[in-house]
Amino acid sequence: MAANVLETLQQRIVPAAGAATPSHGCLVFRLAPEELVPAVRRMKEEFGYDLFLDVTAVDWPADALRFEVVHHFASTRQPLRVRLKTRVAEVDPSIDSLAGLYRSADFMERECHDMYGIVFRGNHDLRPILLYEGFAGHPLRKDYPKAREQPIVPYRN
Query: 19 or 147, CB closer to other proteins?
Result: 147
Neighbours of 69 (CB within 10 A): 23
Among 30, 43, 56, smallest CA distance to 102 is for 43
Query: 121 or 142, CB closer to other proteins?
Result: 142
Query: 15 or 60, CB closer to other proteins?
Result: 60
Q: How far apart are the first and last CA of the chain?
A: 64
Query: 36 or 74, CB closer to other proteins?
Result: 74
Q: Give least dist CB 137 to other proteins, A.
A: 12
H-helix or E-strand containing 73? strand 67-74
The rounded Cα 8 to chain-centroid distance in angstroms is: 23
Question: Position 61: which residue type?
Answer: P
Q: Give least dist CB 71 to other proteins, A.
A: 11
Q: Which residues bind other proteins (CB under 8 A)?
A: 23-26, 50-54, 56, 58-59, 70, 72, 74, 76, 79, 81, 83, 102-104, 106-108, 111, 115, 125, 127-134, 139-140, 142, 144, 146, 151, 153-154, 156
Q: What is the largest CA-CA distance in the chain?
A: 64
Q: Give least dist CB 83 to other proteins, A.
A: 6
